Amino acid sequence: MRKTALVFWTTLFGVMGSYAQNKQLLYDFYEIPQALMLNPGMRTPYDKHFGIPLLSGFSLQAGTSGVTVNDLFANDGIDFTTKVRENVVNGLRRNDEFGGSGQIELFTMGFRSRNRPSDYFSFGMYGEGFIAQYWPRDLAILTFEGNANNLDRRFSLNHIATQGEAVNVFHFGINRELNRNWTVGARAKLYSSVFEFKSASNQGYFVTTMGEDNILRNTLVADVRLRTSGVQEIIDILEEDANTTQADLTRTLLSRSFLGGNLGVGFDIGFTHSFGRNSFITASLLDVGFIYHGNAIKNYTLRGAASNEGVEIILPEDLNDFNSEIWQELVNDIEAQVPFDTNEDAFVTLRPFKVNASFRYNFGAPRSRVQNCECGVNMTSRTDNLGYKSAVGGQFFMIHRARGPQVALTGFYQHRFGNILAVKTTYTVDKYTFSNIGLGINLQAGPVNFYVLADNLMGYTNIPDSNYASLQFGFNIISWNSN
């Protein structure tokens, strides 16, 4: 039972998705070096930075749309099956989803060019994964109710949509301050896919109608595909009957993480443009790329069409050549008409690209110790480089998903308390919640930088009733650009 429950809840809540890849608190929070990963054209007030290995960037995000843990598991005395039927089976729509994502930076470094101080280079490696499951509404209803009382209702196979992956990313970025008004950047990425699975753009339906000859007619029209790479290899290891499972799994995961799996390339680009001293617009395009899956592939397909009205005996045709195995013949016919096949065909997956943009207005800027002399990009103090005491603005986020783009809008307020503490608060609206208030804190103690960012704080008043939660934190060593 525990295994069943684990599978159920892993499916329902463990798969909390890529929408969570919106990192609105971190975006343009340029005291934090990891913000460079969201906009390679961000302002970079550092001379160099060094992330504490494994601790420089850690994020976990999870969310659901349409239902919360509390909706189902509140100790309210209501029959659980009734709650599932009302809140999940009948309550969720096909575009509702569950998902989660996580990212851990293995190492990151950055340094300013000695020959060309307007250039800031950064590189590193991080692992990330996400899993997203759209709610298969029609299939859930079919599973919960059956077809007997749903005559003529088409249960769409298009509702099947799921995606997940784990990938290790090696990256190298260049950030260049072109002049006082423009900073641009680009980052090249090499992806090493550990595993990936995806099922989307499925077509077909199952329907039960009144039969033409017999009482009922069941019809299945299917064009369903699930593509996987690396998954079967991991399953085989987990199922092996040996004492070396853990060692084998570790070896496989490490190998696939470090270029032994399927590889891909991509890039990020971005810019920051200032209007005068206090207004800025920024934008970035992230993860434009692909992964070619050529090894450890197992794809599943269900394609074809079949109708069934049961076994048929029609006289006089069946008088002389009656086949007593007509049941098995019927089963064989259906399996031939709608074959469930596997193959090992290579495939390419595009990365789920993301777009960030923002407008920012700084005010209450600390008095500059160096006047604006228009004399060079590196002629500012550290305080000038941070360049604000308070800031307000708005942000836009979009991610390309299996069912089209998803967007989020954010308003933010940011404030610095001297050179030690900076706080950013956000209010974000997306398809999951209209009440997402986030808070990010960045602490700078000498060269040591620590940040923690948490989303949807209103949800913390009753965590199980929250649709969304995220947490990011990290440690860095920063040397500020004080030229």
Work out which of 87, 118, 147, 378 binds another protein, going by CB under 8 A: 147
Q: Are 290 and 347 in contact (CB under 8 A)?
A: no
Distance CA 262, CA 184 (A): 31
Chain centroid, CA 481 distance in Å: 34
Residues 431-450 that bind another protein (CB under 8 A): 439, 441
Q: Does 181 help bind another protein (rule: CB under 8 A)?
A: no
Q: What are phi and psi of 182, to 5 degrees?
A: -130, 130
**Single residue of 44, 199, 282, 308 touching another protein by CB under 8 A:** 308
Q: From the list 90, 250, 464, 482, which residue makes contact with another protein (rule: CB under 8 A)?
A: 464
Give the nearest distance from C-beta 217 to another protein in angstroms.
7
- Give CA separation, 154 vs 131, 139, 144, 204, in Å: 28, 10, 15, 9
Distance CA 135, CA 137 (A): 5
Give the helix ranges, DSSP H, for 199-293: 231-239, 245-255
Residue the block writes with tokens 């017999």: 214
Does position 454 bind another protein by CB under 8 A? yes
* Residue 5 C-beta: closest distance to another protein, Å: 5
- Using CB under 8 A, which of the segments 101-109, 136-144, 281-289, 443-451 binds another protein? 136-144
Residue 146 makes contact with another protein by CB under 8 A: yes
Instruction: Provide the 10 A C-beta neighbour count for residue 317.
Output: 10
Q: Which two tokens stand for residue 393?
A: 């603005």
**Binder of another protein out of 52, 74, 184, 221 (CB under 8 A):** 74
Determine if 471 is a binding residue for another protein (CB under 8 A).
Answer: no
- Answer yes or no whether residue 325 interacts with another protein by CB under 8 A: yes
Write out the E strands in 144-259: 155-156, 162-177, 182-199, 203-210, 216-229
- Is residue 460 a contact point for another protein (CB under 8 A)? yes
- Least distance between another protein and beta carbon 398 (Å): 29
Give the one residue of 254, 348, 370, 463 binding another protein; rule: CB under 8 A. 463
Contacting another protein (CB under 8 A), which of 174, 200, 407, 423? 423
User: Is 316 a residue that touches another protein (CB under 8 A)?
Assistant: yes
Neighbours of 61 (CB within 10 A): 25
Q: How far is the CB of 44 from another protein (least distance, A)?
A: 27
Which member of 3, 5, 367, 445 binds another protein (CB under 8 A)? 5
Q: Which of 114, 324, 373, 374 binds another protein (CB under 8 A)?
A: 324
329 Cβ contact list (under 8 Å, min separation 6): 323
Return the residues of window 381-420 that contact another protein according to CB under 8 A. 417
Which two structure tokens, joined as six digits, stand for 41? 């054209």
Shortest separation between residue 260's beta carbon and another protein, angstroms: 39
* Interface pick for another protein out of 32, 67, 84, 207 (rule CB under 8 A): 84
Q: Assess contact for 451 and 460: CB atoms under 8 A.
A: no
For residue 361, which of 395, 385, 408 has the smallest C-alpha distance?
395
Q: Which two tokens stand for residue 107?
A: 């190492």
State the minimum distance, in angstroms, from the CB of residue 441 to another protein.
7
**Nearer Cβ to another protein, position 398 or 439?**
439
Residues 6+ apart with CB under 8 A from 483: 47, 117, 378, 379
CB of 310 to another protein, least distance (A): 3
Q: How far is residue 109 CA from its own chain's centroid?
A: 24
Are residues 405 and 379 in contact, defined by beta-carbon separation less than 8 angstroms? no
- 256: tokens are 């696939």
Per CB under 8 A, 465 contacts another protein: yes
Query: Binding another protein by CB under 8 A: which of 11, 53, 54, 144?
Result: 144
- Cβ atoms within 10 Å of 213's Cβ, excluding its own: 9
Q: Is residue 12 a contact residue for another protein (CB under 8 A)?
A: no
Residues 208-227 that bind another protein (CB under 8 A): 208, 211, 213-218
Is there binding between residue 340 and another protein (CB under 8 A)?
Answer: no
Q: What is the separation, in whole angstroms, between the first and last Cα of the chain?
A: 64
Which segment (70-78, 105-113, 162-170, 367-375) binds another protein by CB under 8 A?
A: 70-78
Smallest separation (angstroms) from another protein to the CB of 82: 10
Q: Does 319 bind another protein (CB under 8 A)?
A: yes
Do 112 and 481 form a contact (C-beta atoms < 8 A)?
A: yes
Cβ contacts of 78 within 8 Å, gap of 6 or more: none
Nearer to another protein, 80 or 246 (CB): 80
Whichever of 9 and 450 has its CB closer to another protein, that residue is 9
Return the C-alpha torsion angle 383, 384, 390, 395, nearest 10: -120
Nearest residue to 130 (alpha-carbon basis) of 6, 260, 16, 274: 16
Q: Which is nearer to another protein, 240 or 333 (CB)?
A: 333
- Which of 14, 55, 70, 94: binder of another protein (CB under 8 A)? 70
User: Minimum distance between the CB of residue 90 and another protein, rounded to whole angstroms?
Assistant: 14
State the residues that interact with another protein by CB under 8 A.
Answer: 1, 4-5, 8-9, 69-70, 72-75, 79-81, 84, 142-149, 208, 211, 213-218, 308-316, 318-319, 322-328, 417, 423, 439, 441, 454, 457, 460-465
